[in-house]
């Protein structure tokens, strides 16, 4: 992607993320209409939908030749990642948005021919914006984030992990390997927003994030940001991420990535 174009897209994306964040923040105490999607715990509100519509309108007006892959279905039907694709999760952490009115984020990734060029994650209620452009490092607001070069052993690492993967019947991963991993780690955390979990890995608050069921809009921005500080982001089996379908994800400091994947994660399929 041409540098000047990339800078221009970044500035637009940043302005729209901040504007969308303001709208969410100023409506945080308004009555919510809450619906469920694929299961009773998969929530969506009118604010998720309105925010995605806001991005769809801005992108269509400004860049009619770009595509939008969005969680709430106001974007395009995408079959491949040719051209410029905006991958948007209007509210990541909707359960937190509904139950806690905090700990949720807007996540926007811009990809060109399948390569993540720009990532923005906005922790709306905290007012913290994480950004990255490929090859230019990552930032928390205006501050450049240091690289994750320290080699920290698993025994001193904190991993974001959902307790679901420790349930024996879970369909994705052998729970015994997960138990061994939890015993080996210093500790685990679950924030309930994949985007924030990526941002916290990039910031060094977490040493890694392991999950079994993410969609492209959950990790599109986060993977750009984590890679810019030297972290590794792949599927849990270390294969490349599939930008069109549900996938496992392991994002972490480089020195623990292979060990987690090879010694602990035994995928069921």
Residue 91, annotated as binding a ligand = yes
Task: Give least dist CB 164 to Ca ion, A.
Answer: 15
Structure tokens at 223: 């993977």
Give yes or no for residue 228 binding Ca ion (CB under 5 A): no
Give yes or no for residue 89 binding Ca ion (CB under 5 A): yes
Using Cβ positions, the residue closest to Ca ion within the complex turns out to be 92
Residue 71, annotated as binding a ligand = yes
Task: Give least dist CB 13 to ligand IPD, A.
Answer: 18
Residue 89, annotated as binding a ligand = yes
Give yes or no for residue 203 binding Ca ion (CB under 5 A): no
Residue matched to tokens 């940001």: 225
Task: Give least dist CB 200 to ligand IPD, A.
Answer: 12
CA nearest neighbour of 140 among 59, 198, 210: 198
Contact partner, 117, from ligand IPD, Ca ion, none, Cβ < 5-8 Å per class: none
CA nearest neighbour of 86 among 61, 229, 44, 232: 61
Identify which of residues 211 and 261 has a Cβ nearer to Ca ion in the complex.
211
Contact partner, 234, from ligand IPD, Ca ion, none, Cβ < 5-8 Å per class: none
Q: What is the DSSP string of 223-251?
A: HHHHHHTT-EEE-TTSPPP-TTS-EEEEE
Summarize as ranges the residues that interact with ligand IPD (CB under 6 A). 71, 89, 92-94, 162, 192-194, 211, 213-214, 218
Identify which of residues 10 and 217 has a Cβ nearer to Ca ion in the complex.
217
Contacts of 105 (CB under 8 A, 6+ apart): 89, 91, 92, 93, 121, 122, 123, 124, 193, 195, 196, 199
Residues within window 49-88 making contact with Ca ion, judged by CB under 5 A: 71
Identify which of residues 5 and 99 has a Cβ nearer to ligand IPD in the complex.
99
CA nearest neighbour of 156 among 197, 189, 185, 188: 185
Identify which of residues 49 and 157 has a Cβ nearer to Ca ion in the complex.
49
Structure tokens at 110: 């811009």
CA distance 49 to 241: 26
Task: Give least dist CB 153 to ligand IPD, A.
Answer: 26
From residue 269, alpha-carbon distances to 39, 164, 170, 173, 266 in Å are 22, 17, 12, 8, 9
Identify which of residues 45 and 60 has a Cβ nearer to ligand IPD in the complex.
45
Helices (H), the chain: 3-26, 46-62, 94-99, 175-184, 194-203, 216-228, 254-263
Task: Give least dist CB 222 to ligand IPD, A.
Answer: 10
User: Residue 58's beta-bridge partner residues?
Assistant: none
| From 52, 92, 203, 207, residue interacting with Ca ion (rule: CB under 5 A) | 92
Identify which of residues 28 and 144 has a Cβ nearer to ligand IPD in the complex.
28
Classified as helix, coil or strand, 215 is coil
- Contact residues toward Ca ion (CB under 5 A) are 71, 89, 91-92, 218
User: Which residue ranges are tagged as binding site for Mg(2+)?
Assistant: 71, 89, 91-92, 218
């Amino acid at each position: 992607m041409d540098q000047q174009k990339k800078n221009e897209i970044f500035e637009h994306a940043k302005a729209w993320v901040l504007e969308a964040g303001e709208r969410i923040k100023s409506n945080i105490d308004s009555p919510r209409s809450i619906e469920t999607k694929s299961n009773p715990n998969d929530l969506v509100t009118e604010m998720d939908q309105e925010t995605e519509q806001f991005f769809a309108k801005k992108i269509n007006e400004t860049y009619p030749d770009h595509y939008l892959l969005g969680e709430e279905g106001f974007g395009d039907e995408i079959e491949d990642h040719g051209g410029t694709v905006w991958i948007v999760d209007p509210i990541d952490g909707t359960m937190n948005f509904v139950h806690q009115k905090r700990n949720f984020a807007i996540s926007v990734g811009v990809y060109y021919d399948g390569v993540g060029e720009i990532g923005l994650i906005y922790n709306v209620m905290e007012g913290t914006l994480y950004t990255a452009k490929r090859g230019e490092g990552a930032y928390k607001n205006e501050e450049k984030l240091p690289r994750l070069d320290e080699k920290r052993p698993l025994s001193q690492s904190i991993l974001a992990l959902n307790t679901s993967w420790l349930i024996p019947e879970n369909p994705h991963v052998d729970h015994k390997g997960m138990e061994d991993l939890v015993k080996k780690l210093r500790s685990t955390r679950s924030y309930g927003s994949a985007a924030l979990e990526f941002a916290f890995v990039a910031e060094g608050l977490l040493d890694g994030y392991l999950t079994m069921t993410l969609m492209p809009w959950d990790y599109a921005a986060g993977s750009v940001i984590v890679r810019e500080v030297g972290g590794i982001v792949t599927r849990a089996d270390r294969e490349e991420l599939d930008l069109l379908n549900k996938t496992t994800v392991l994002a972490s400091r480089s020195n623990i990535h292979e060990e987690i994947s090879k010694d602990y994660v035994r995928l069921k399929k």
